[in-house]
Amino acid sequence: MDVVVFGAGSLGSLVGGLLAREHAVTLVGREDHVRDVQEDGLRITGEIDDVVRPQASTSVPEAADLAIVTVKAYDTPAAVAALSACDCDAVLSLQNGMGNEERLASLSATVLAGTATYGAIQHEPGSVRCTGLGEVVLGPPDGGRNGQADRVGDAFRAAGIETTVATDMPRRLWEKLAVNAGINATTALSRVRNGALADGPLAAVARRAARETAQVGRDRDVDLPDEEAIAAMDAVVDATADNESSMYRDVQAGGRTEIDAINGYVAESDVDTPVNDTLAALLRGWERERELRD
């Protein structure tokens, strides 16, 4: 399968690198990362130790069987603009937050939704560290099955990636949103690692944010009980206790966060969501003071 990964940062480089063990992969990313991959290959360290040699470029190729989008949610419009020049059969979003698949739907390709629980950190160009083995789950964003999802799932498995082709992606996306709504903003504002949410006052805030997310999901006909959303979040906190959330790392770097697609998305509902409202307002205020948003 010919695969292009648009947004070859940490997760994109890891997934693309693993796929390159079996498929023709092009990583589209920043110039320094692209240059090092072109010259020396992509070095994967941590839980996986390997050197792979995907193609790398700062622009998308003319055609691909599959485009994987791993950019930040606020960069999805840029992904749509770039991929509009690529003749793709399918586009898979492995992004945080909600609304990405709807934006990608303007492309003339089958859009798939996905989640990935592999941990990845990129400290320097030309390499990526796998901080935890996980699973990719993918399927049609509205649920059910289609042939493209099955084909992509087979391709991922052939490359040794633990993969599930799911028929219940709406529920899985809302569960992931509940996890991110609880963990990301809470750790970013408190400047703590994920494990600090295991108990105490921060755990209470995070669980309330996850509970509100489940309530909004049910208001949109997604069957996600409060206790299951909270249990999913607690499990991620336990499994990634020593990790810093992506939003915390964004704040440390002084960069824009994905707050609009996570807590902000939850807050834009008819359901009362005071915790998500507050978390979103605090991060948006922080970004505005740094002129990262209007």
Tokens (6 digits) for 193? 């690692």
Calculate mean pLDDT across residues 173-187. 98
Quick one: which of 249, 276, 252 has its CA closest to 263? 276
Domain boundary among 135, 165, 195: 165
pLDDT, tens digit (0-9, with 9 covering 90-100), for 89-102: 999 999 999 999 99
| Site of tokens 């990526």 | 128
Q: Say if residue 294's pLDDT is above 90.
A: no
Say whether both 197 and 104 belong to one domain.
no
Q: Kindly state whether residue 294 falls inside one of the protein's structural domains.
A: no
Q: Say if residue 198's pLDDT is above 90.
A: yes
Mean pLDDT rounded to a whole number for the chain: 97
Q: Say if residue 54's pLDDT is above 90.
A: yes
Say whether both 26 and 157 belong to one domain.
yes
Confidence of residue 64 (pLDDT cuts 50, 70, 90): very high
Say whether both 108 and 178 belong to one domain.
no
pLDDT, tens digit (0-9, with 9 covering 90-100), for 113-125: 999 999 999 989 9
Say whether both 122 and 180 belong to one domain.
no
Number of domains the chain is built from: 2
pLDDT, tens digit (0-9, with 9 covering 90-100), for 9-35: 999 999 999 999 999 999 999 999 999
Confidence of residue 150 (pLDDT cuts 50, 70, 90): very high
- In the chain, DSSP finds a helix count (H) and a strand count (E) of 11, 12
**Helix, strand, coil % in the chain, rounded to nearest 5:** 45, 20, 35
The catalytic position among 72, 129, 172, 176 is 176
Say what the pTM is.
0.95
Domain boundary among 165, 181, 214: 165
Please tell me the number of Cα atoms within 13 Å of 6 on its side-chain side: 30
Based on the residue annotation, tell me whether 176 is a catalytic residue of this protein: yes
Say whether both 255 and 223 belong to one domain.
yes
User: What percent of the chain is predicted at pLDDT more than 70?
Assistant: 100
CA 199-235-7 angle, to 5 degrees, is: 115
Paired sense of beta strands 63-69 and 87-93, if any: parallel
Say whether both 214 and 278 belong to one domain.
yes
DSSP string, 208-226: HHHHHHHHHHHHTT----H
Domain boundary among 108, 135, 165: 165
Say whether both 181 and 109 belong to one domain.
no
pLDDT, tens digit (0-9, with 9 covering 90-100), for 217-240: 999 999 999 999 999 999 999 999
Domain of 127, in residue numbers: 2-165
Q: Say if residue 63's pLDDT is above 90.
A: yes
Say whether both 143 and 27 belong to one domain.
yes
User: What percent of the chain is predicted at pLDDT more than 90?
Assistant: 99
